[in-house]
Amino acid sequence: MAEKIISDEQIAILKSKIRDVENFPKEGIVFKDITTLLNDYESLNLVIESAYQFFKDKNIDFVAGIDSRGFIFGTPLALKLGVGFVPIRKKNKLPAETYSVTYDLEYGTDTLEIHKDAFLNKDSRILLVDDLLATGGTASASIDLIEKTGSKAVYTLFLINLLFLNGEEKLKNKTDVISLLDF
């Protein structure tokens, strides 16, 4: 299980702010909707402040966020840490020269990209942020992109880890996984 950075009481508060939406985006799926957490200042602040307290002494050079909800948490965290933010985007969304990685999804493939000059120096220590860890495919592809730049994703941070999908298995040899909430 991913390392914990908040108390059981804080976990209960944050879980109470996430609603389940049945049959979204398709029949049989129970979607964890974080918009109800995002519109609550105290809960959103708890997420960012807890992550900041955990990572402030970890010598992070940049925060990278995965398109698109990784941007929501990654950008304010980068500001608090006093480091730059780097977006990892879906194909054809970045304007300059990119590295790309195509990876498998449940029903097809997807492609992520990062600017080739995303990090100011090679060997940067990167904190990769996203809202949800499911099967680990997107996070694993993002880590591969970061490595193509010559840097290393030393940590991945997720708001939610869906334990039953075993996403950590795909990441365990690549990075340290930290999550706030396990479902």
The pLDDT tens digits for 46-72 are: 999 999 999 999 999 999 999 999 999
Residue 19 annotated as catalytic? no
Sign of dihedral through CA atoms 34, 50, 133, 138?
A: positive
Q: What tokens does 150 get?
A: 């010559």
Give pTM, 2 decimals.
0.95
All residue ranges of the chain with pLDDT < 50 are none
Neighbours of 19 (CB within 10 A): 12
- For the chain, give the DSSP string: -PBP-S-HHHHHHHHHT-EEEET-SSTT-EEEE-HHHHT-HHHHHHHHHHHHHHHTTS---EEEEETTHHHHHHHHHHHHHT-EEEEEEETT--SS-EEEEEEEETTEEEEEEEETT-SSSTT-EEEEEEEEESSSHHHHHHHHHHHHTT-EEEEEEEEEE-GGG-HHHHHTTTSEEEEEEE-
Residue 1: what pLDDT?
A: 59
Whole-angstrom Cα distance, residue 15 to residue 66?
22
Report pLDDT digits (tens) over 86-103: 999 999 999 999 999 999
Marked catalytic residue, from 9, 22, 42, 106: 106
Marked catalytic residue, from 69, 89, 125, 169: 69
Residue 69 annotated as catalytic? yes
Domain 59-182 falls under CATH 3.40.50.920 = no
